[in-house]
Structure 1
Amino acid sequence: MTQPPPGYPEYPEYPQQSAQIPPQYPQQQPQQPTYPQTPYTYPQAPQGSAPIPPQYPQTPPQAPLTPPAQAPAPAPAAKPAPSEDPNHPNHINTDARRVHIASQQRHTDATAVGNLLLYLPNFLCSLAVVGLFSAFFGKLAFVVILLWLASGALVFHRPTESALARRLLHLRYPTPQERAKIEPVWREVTARAGVEGRNYELWVEDSNGLNAVAAAGHIVGVTRFALNELPNGELAAVMAHELGHHVGGHAWSGLLGYWYALPGRMAWRVLKAVSVVAFHVSRAFGCFGVAFVVMIVGGLAFATISTLYGLPLLILGVPYALAAVGRRAELRADEHAAALGFAPMLASVLDKLHQGEQHEQAAQTARNGGVPVEESALSKLLSSHPDYHTRLHHLQQYLQPQRPY
């Protein structure tokens, strides 16, 4: 070992060789815990009791003398009414959707104009009657005539329309349940027509007949039968037909003409009643009395005709002309409903009306002893509605499938 220089401490001594002792590992595996070796003894059955076999009946059971009562068969499901059956072929979807409102809500077609022109003779006769009546008011006679002329505006007055609907047409407001049925249908009809449906009022007639009405300027009424028995597609076709009367101006023009013809009609009824009474009184005086009354009535009629330039003679033909215009207006309203896509539904409604008419004719024939009751030609000319064959014929162009272009 090298000696350190003088003045320095001695180097520390290090071991020359260090033997590394390996770690000690366990030589034996750890023993598993021991459990008790006592075997399990199962419980012993009691020695003094032998198992008893089950007892079975020696004789077969007797069948009951009366068969057990069977449970009643479930009643068949009630068939939904046509108005509530979504699987009906004439059912339509009335879900709310976007609506395009047309810029022109109404117009006055040729039938409406013709209706007003045909009422002109009645209007002039009524004006003459009002003029004679106003003579009793002296200086206020002109005011009375002006008030009568201005009274035509009441046709478009909502409270007056409601009064007419209740008193003359026997309509009423729908109940909440009826409104829940009729409003979605009306919304679908007006949506297809591009018309604001809120401008019109919906009414119901307590009737068991299939009918509807368009009155005044804003009233659409349907019967209770049509509301509850028709599928919503057929009800929509009926309401689309009535909307056609409003859109074409048929409803307001007819009511306006009827309003201004009332004084003349009332005067005619008074003259007719007076003539009948005078004729019956004159019969008490024999032939001389009858001849006298005939001369008086004939003289008044001739004076009236000559004074009014034959106008009363035109009035005799007005009912037939108005009936012809009314039949044309019905066909126009049918075309309006068919153009909105309700042609099949409207044809089904017309078929039902035709069947109802045939049943009524059969009942009248039975009451008449089997002799059929035929409608006269004059009554056909006075009918305001065309026959069902004519109406169905005009619908054929809308019922035929469209050819592809």
Structure 2
Amino acid sequence: MPPRGFSLPPAGRGRRWELSGLIELVMAFPWLWWSWLSIQLIGTPSTTVYVIAMVAWGAFAVGSLHPRVEDFLAWKVWRLRTPNALESQLIGPAWFAACTAAGVDPNRYRVWIHEGAQVTAPPVAGSTVAVTSWSTLVLPARNLEAVLAHELAHRLALPRPVSLFVYCLQLPARMMGKALRAAWKAPVVGFLLKVFLGIYALGIIGIWAFWGFNYVIVFLLSPILAPFVVPAAARASEKYADRIAFDLGYGPALAEVFTGREFQRAQAWTTAPPQGLKDSQPLDSARLRALERLISSSPQNGHQPPF
């Protein structure tokens, strides 16, 4: 139930095509291309298999717009769970406050729990919003609002149908990538994959030399570059969502969260971890510095939600 005094924002307010959403769409093109190639591979044995695979691929992408399919993605793909009674009590008022600050209807989204000790959860798609169990159970109400405003910012980047449809079309490529990563660790298969990767890289160089650089080269290079480019884009998206939370008035509250984590790390005498090229979450210290720069440049940022 909404808190007392809550009123729904005007229809359509808060639906914005943010820069991170446009970047997400651009980053999706190589995934979609490799998904299409994966379906071609599956359909190699016969035309019937190919037609079935294509129909199933498209049907699942369209079916993802149904709430039950989105729930399935949340449970089985994104590994989220529904909040328990205590978590629901903590999330409810904070979520309505964050949505009011953003000018969106909180009932259009569903908040799920991501088991983890990070401040923010990995971004998902559709109307699903993930928040970590650590933030839910540890943070005070105002700081939890700030984290939820950050998570909401990811959902403001793209409309629900677009984000769900694009994500589901990427699933064949993601499944293929997961299978290749698992095979990479096997002694014999991993060795064969490394040999193939070397030949594959030489083939790309040959195509580049004879036909010049074009979009096909970009798509062919994407599996090699993806382990580095995709996490870098994810880190940039996290910082951009921090910026949206700052614009909504939650800059100081979000900075407090990262300050507290840095203080706890210093108390434990632990060295700050280096930023790995394949890490999808920025370091707390990097996010804190970025927020501090924003706050210092806008000292009036201290917006309080209406309740």
TMscore range, shorter length: 0.7 to 0.9
Q: Distance in 1 between matches of 2:258 and 2:195?
A: 51
Q: Distance in 2 between matches of 1:265 and 1:211?
A: 25
Matched residue, 1:368 = none
The one-letter code of the counterpart of 1:375 is P
Matched residue, 1:288 = none
Matched residue, 1:290 = none
In 2, are the aligned partners of 1:212 and 1:238 still within 8 Å (CA)?
A: no
Matched residue, 2:224 = 316
The one-letter code of the counterpart of 2:240 is R
Matched residue, 2:16 = 107
Matched residue, 2:150 = 241
The one-letter code of the counterpart of 2:295 is Q
What is the Cα deviation at residue 239 of structure 1? 0.5
Alignment of 1:41-52 (within 5 A): none
Q: Distance in 2 between matches of 1:297 and 1:207?
A: 34
In 2, are the aligned partners of 1:212 and 1:239 still within 8 Å (CA)?
A: no
Matched residue, 2:171 = 259
Matched residue, 1:344 = 252
Instruction: Spell out, residue by residue over 1:110-136, the C-alpha distance to the aligned partner (whole angstroms, 9 max, x if none).
Output: 222222322322332332222021122
Q: Distance in 1 between matches of 2:11 and 2:190?
A: 60
What is the Cα deviation at residue 200 of structure 1? 0.9
Instruction: Spell out, residue by residue over 1:360-395, the C-alpha distance to the aligned partner (whole angstroms, 9 max, x if none).
Output: 7x44x6xxxxxxx8626xx24754426234432443
Alignment of 1:45-60 (within 5 A): none
Instruction: Spell out, residue by residue over 1:126-159, the C-alpha distance to the aligned partner (whole angstroms, 9 max, x if none).
Output: 3222202112233442342243244333544322
Instruction: Spell out, residue by residue over 1:1-36, the C-alpha distance to the aligned partner (whole angstroms, 9 max, x if none).
Output: xxxxxxxxxxxxxxxxxxxxxxxxxxxxxxxxxxxx
Q: Distance in 1 between matches of 2:261 and 2:273?
A: 18
Matched residue, 1:391 = 290
Say whether residues 1:180 and 2:89 are aligned partners.
yes
Q: Secondary structure at the residue paired with 1:215?
A: coil
Instruction: Spell out, residue by residue over 1:9-68, the C-alpha distance to the aligned partner (whole angstroms, 9 max, x if none).
Output: xxxxxxxxxxxxxxxxxxxxxxxxxxxxxxxxxxxxxxxxxxxxxxxxxxxxxxxxxxxx
Matched residue, 2:188 = 277
Matched residue, 1:375 = 274
Matched residue, 2:305 = none
The structure-2 alpha-carbon separation of the partners of 1:202 and 1:188, relative to structure 1 and needing over 3 Å to count, comes to same
Q: Secondary structure at the residue paired with 1:135?
A: coil
Q: Distance in 1 between matches of 2:195 and 2:81?
A: 50
Instruction: Spell out, residue by residue over 1:321-366, the C-alpha distance to the aligned partner (whole angstroms, 9 max, x if none).
Output: 3333323322321222222222221111121233345567x44x6x
Q: Name which structure has the greater RCO, CA cutoff 8 Å, separation 6+.
A: 2
Q: Secondary structure at the residue paired with 1:222?
A: strand
In 1, are the aligned partners of 2:242 and 2:291 still within 8 Å (CA)?
A: no
Larger mean CA deviation between 302-311 and 198-207 belongs to: 302-311
Say whether residues 1:161 and 2:70 are aligned partners.
yes
Q: How high is the TM-score relative to the length of structure 2?
A: 0.74
The one-letter code of the counterpart of 1:353 is R
In 1, are the aligned partners of 2:204 and 2:221 still within 8 Å (CA)?
A: no
The one-letter code of the counterpart of 2:274 is E
The structure-2 alpha-carbon separation of the partners of 1:204 and 1:235, relative to structure 1 and needing over 3 Å to count, comes to same
Matched residue, 1:217 = 126
Q: Distance in 2 between matches of 1:278 and 1:180?
A: 50
Matched residue, 2:213 = none
Identical columns (%):
23
State which structure, 1 or 2, has the greater radius of gyration over its C-alpha atoms: 1
The one-letter code of the counterpart of 1:173 is T
Which sections of structure 1, spanning at least 5 residues, go unmatched? 1-93, 283-292, 366-372
Larger mean CA deviation between 151-160 and 296-305 belongs to: 296-305
The structure-2 alpha-carbon separation of the partners of 1:358 and 1:150, relative to structure 1 and needing over 3 Å to count, comes to farther
In 2, are the aligned partners of 1:200 and 1:218 still within 8 Å (CA)?
A: yes
Among residues 333, 339, 343, which one is paired with 2:241 in the alignment? 333
Matched residue, 2:30 = 121
Matched residue, 2:212 = none
How many residues align? The count is: 286
Alignment of 1:20-31 (within 5 A): none
The structure-2 alpha-carbon separation of the partners of 1:318 and 1:338, relative to structure 1 and needing over 3 Å to count, comes to same
What is the Cα deviation at residue 243 of structure 1? 0.5
Instruction: Spell out, residue by residue over 1:214-268, the C-alpha distance to the aligned partner (whole angstroms, 9 max, x if none).
Output: 4221122333432233221111111011011101129937845752532441463
Q: Distance in 2 between matches of 1:295 and 1:342?
A: 50
Say whether residues 1:171 and 2:76 are aligned partners.
no
What is the Cα deviation at residue 207 of structure 1? 4.8
Q: Distance in 2 between matches of 1:357 and 1:154?
A: 45
Q: Secondary structure at the residue paired with 2:129?
A: strand
The one-letter code of the counterpart of 2:244 is H
The structure-2 alpha-carbon separation of the partners of 1:341 and 1:203, relative to structure 1 and needing over 3 Å to count, comes to same
Question: CA RMSD of the aligned region, Å?
Answer: 3.7
